[in-house]
Amino acid sequence: MEAQRLISGFCSTPPIQNTKTQVFVKFPLSSSSSSSASFAQSQKWVSFKACPSISQSALSGKVFQCRNSGERIEFLASDKEDLRSGIRRKKLAVFVSGGGSNFRSIHEACLRGSIHGDIVVVVTSKQGCGGADYARDKGLPVILFPKTKLEADGISPADLVATLRSFEVDFVLLAGYLKLIPAELIQAYPRSILNIHPSLLPAFGGKGNYGMKVHKAVIATGARYTGPTIHFVDEHYDTGRILAQRVVPVLAKDTAEELAARVLREEHRIYVEVITALCEDRVIWREDGVPIIRSKENPNEYS
């Protein structure tokens, strides 16, 4: 029952007809949320049918044991590209609160192989939001966090950390997630949580500055340039170290909606580019604590 509470649906689409294709993952069956340790000790195996949308690359080269029948199942997709690169394919968690257009862009990039990683779990603060619905439709596990008056089924920060660890998550990607990230998660994933903001931080950032509010404020101040910022997450809203930015001009007769559309197009491009670099281990930290990205074509160049 606890597994059902934590995971709000793996596959809303009909499962594939080949019932031999099963994937086994660990989820907590105990109702205790007092500590990560008790969470880990209470894990048991839960199986689900693999949906057609699950990336073949996520299963490539892997061998699973069907615990019900004992039958060995092999996924024969080649893993040669991973071996050539010498870089392990990363496991990603995406956090959403709204429509999830950046989440969709990231997911599509993973499926087509642009990103050397796979989304293994989605966390949402609103179980009925578009991003969560998209995740369920694609057969991705959905976790509800945090617990609020409106979302009573949400889990605790300790259980959130334990759940992400059970999925062996490497990086956490915020994609329109409107809640403050708990200190427990930041401590558990140092320099591993990214957020995207629709303005050139530190301008137009902070609590309450999100979505269309940002674009209206940009126009109202007469700013001539704006654009998305990708930064690492700390304990506060929009104050973490900046990793990448993309400049978008503000036109004289722009409406907030027109500006938002142009910025969003750049968000989709730059977030995929940055996550690609992150999964290829090309994000480097200078001695002063500033993150930079090493060029794939020329390792001696940085941005």
Active-site annotation, residues: 197
Amino acid at 266: E
Q: From CA 259, how far away is CA 200, in angstroms rounded? A: 13
Cβ-based burial of 75 (10 A; exposed 0-12, middle 13-18, buried ≥19): middle
**277 Cβ partners below 8 Å, 6+ apart?**
283, 293, 294, 296
Return the closest-CA partner of residue 106 out of 174, 23, 185: 174
Beta strands in the chain (DSSP E): 22-28, 43-49, 63-65, 72-74, 90-96, 117-124, 142-144, 171-174, 193-197, 225-226, 229-232, 242-245, 248-249, 283-285, 291-293
Q: 217 is written with which tokens? A: 């404020």
Residue 123: name the closest of 72, 48, 23, 193 by CA: 193
Rounded-to-integer distance, Cα 210 and Cα 42, Å: 38
**Main-chain phi, psi angles of 167, to 5 degrees:** -85, 0
Let me know if 19 is exposed, middle or buried by CB neighbors in 10 A (0-12, 13-18, 19+). exposed
Which two structure tokens, joined as six digits, stand for 161? 């950390």
Return d(Cα 260, Cα 187) in angstroms, integer.
33
